[in-house]
Amino acid sequence: MRSLAYFIVFLLICITGCKDFLQEENLSYLDEIDFYKTSEDAENAINAIYNLLDDQGAYGASYWRVKGLASDEGLYEGNFSDIATLANASYGSSNSEIKNVWSSFYAVAYASNIVIEKVPSIEMDSARKVVVLAEAKFFRGLAYMELQRLFNEVPLMLDAPFSDSETYLMPQSNKASIQQQVVTDLEHAVTSLPLSSAWGRPNSYAAAALLSRMYFLNQDYAQAKKWAMLVINSTAYSLESDVNSLFKNLNDVNNETIFAITRSFIIILMKIYYLHLWVGQEIIQSHPLF
């Protein structure tokens, strides 16, 4: 009987030991506590925003369909109902294309908020930190400018943790407060971004050009001129002699484009194939935003 008791105790020890031995630490997973500590984390956080700019709703297929088909710039001859309702102006709030645009730009705002909140406490090169934070504010300004233009009064979420479902439940912010936040973010970007940057990254003139566009669309022509002249007088950009060349893939990088979104060639081909029913598909291939 005593031998049986010893055997049971021995068996329990073996089982417990095996359980601890087999318990693996997930070294490939980083939660929020472990992240946002190094300069590499800061770079990964800002680069995540660039990845979001190619989402369906943020300058991907849905964005161009919503803007093109809901106006008179595009035609659609297919059978997908949510795209067809955009073309015949019978869409509602449940339209998947519109939801894509809403969610994608809020994802950009969310990712920007994270950078703005987390990066200041990271020990890294101070000059680079200034640029990373300015890029995040540029993209947050861009996201809310698009949301306000497309949906008018939307929730203004400036704190990092918010979910997509919260954006449907939060109260709307008035147009003036949204536009003021866009101005605040973009003016910060104008003063903090470098005068020149790598292709596909915003610089000071890109932020100024975006400010000019926002003021122009809101018929504040004096402010629109002010920021536009800042770009024009810089002589950093010049008009292409052949305007048609701007719509050719081989001329994506040119002196007239102030800011552009870059995509890999494979992704471009996939988008072209996916959009074979899109009559104005060349605009999808054009990377320059302004």
Average pLDDT for residues 37-52, to the nearest whole number?
A: 91
Answer yes or no: is pLDDT of 126 > 90: yes
In tens, the pLDDT along 80-101 reads 888 888 888 888 888 999 999 9
pLDDT at position 57 is 86
Domain ranges of the chain: 36-162+169-285
Confidence of residue 284 (pLDDT cuts 50, 70, 90): very low
Please report the pLDDT score of residue 276 as a whole number: 35
Task: Give me the mean pLDDT over the 207-226 stretch.
Answer: 94
Of 78-87, 113-122, 164-173, where does the model show the most confidence? Answer: 113-122
- The string of pLDDT tens digits covering residues 241-265 is 888 877 776 667 788 888 888 765 4
Kindly tell me if the per-residue pLDDT of 34 is higher than 90. Answer: no
Looking at domain 36-162+169-285, its CATH architecture is Alpha Horseshoe (1.25)
CA–CA gap between residue 211 and residue 226 (Å, rounded): 10
Place of tokens 């449907």: 168
Q: Tell me the CA distances in angstroms from 159 to 109, 118, 155, 163, 176, one per residue in order.
A: 10, 11, 12, 11, 19
Whether 114 and 52 have beta carbons less than 8 Å apart is answered as: no
For residues 282-286, average pLDDT: 37
**What pLDDT score does 143 carry?**
96
The pTM of this model reads 0.80
Over residues 210-233, the mean pLDDT reads 94
Best CA proximity match to 83, nearest among 102, 60, 55, 64? 64
pLDDT at 218 exceeding the cut of 50 = yes
